[in-house]
Amino acid sequence: MALGPYRLHELINSGGMADLWLVSNQREEACALRLLHPRLRFNLRARRRFIQGCEILSRIHNHNQVIEYQGHGKIDGRHYLLMEYVEGANMKEMLNLSDPLLVDRVWEILRDMALALEHVHESGFMHLDYKPENLLLTRNGQLRLVDFDLAMPAPPRPARLKSYGGTFSYMAPEQLLRQPVDHRADVFAWGVTAYELIARRRPFQGETAEEVLRKQLDRSQDFLLPRELNPELSAAMEKVIMRCLERDPDRRYPFMSVLIREMEAAP
């Protein structure tokens, strides 16, 4: 099936905002084509998010741990984003399958997770939807951060957002409380994702945003330290993860570069 200059080969994934296709371009190179759902064609908010995500990615993609941007626009009336094709799976899928790669290369994956977020922040943006589903891993463990639909410029100081979208299991308390937010909300999300990678469960279990928030604020219930679930984790690395999970943003890492420095010093 053809769409403009691209041949569509396989539907890779279908999300709430868009479909992701494996396509080939006019040079017969494999690419990933993200297409906004037709039902959202006249949804101004969805279109604005999709286009903003494309534009942000176009400005920050020149990094090994961020998906490569190749172009965006409209084809036959549908908004699209063209990216590099990564042969692999997202971390959520790999966690569900207990993929041994997540054990064999866990330190490198944690480091690359942090490097991707450091680059986003140093480029002046917040991701605001950082989670395993948005981390692609190649077969040899190379990581790519994707999906910048909710990303926005980072404010110089915490600011209220016009909308607080995201996945509640990975959102910081200040997001769930609709309080002012800055890049440290991503630091919290990195901590939740790192905890899940290490412990194979999220730190704050809950079926609703309210339940997750309650457990974030009161950890006397079923919260377990990551080393209680994975004794192979070093005490120093546990300390790094737990600092990211602080309820108060001022107690988290101020910058991902500081986190990376402490990670590299951890045994």
The set of catalytic residues is: 129
Strands 135-138 and 125-126, sheet pairing: unpaired
d(CA 160, CA 96): 35
For residue 118, what are the CA distances in angstroms to 13, 212, 255?
A: 27, 26, 8
In the block, residue with structure tokens 């403009």: 4
Residues 102/95, Cβ–Cβ less than 8 Å: yes
What DSSP designation does 244 have?
H
Spell out the residues 6+ positions from residue 114 whose beta carbon is closer than 8 angstroms to its own: 190, 256, 259, 260, 263
Stated length of the chain: 267
The answer to whether residues 13 and 21 touch, using CB atoms and an 8 Å cutoff, is no
Let me know if 12 is exposed, middle or buried by CB neighbors in 10 A (0-12, 13-18, 19+): middle
Residues 6+ apart with CB under 8 A from 115: 63, 64, 65, 256, 260
Helix (H) or strand (E) holding 81: strand 78-84
Dihedral pair phi/psi, residue 239, rounded to 5°: -60, -40
State the Cα–Cα distance between residues 202 and 199, nearest whole angstrom: 8
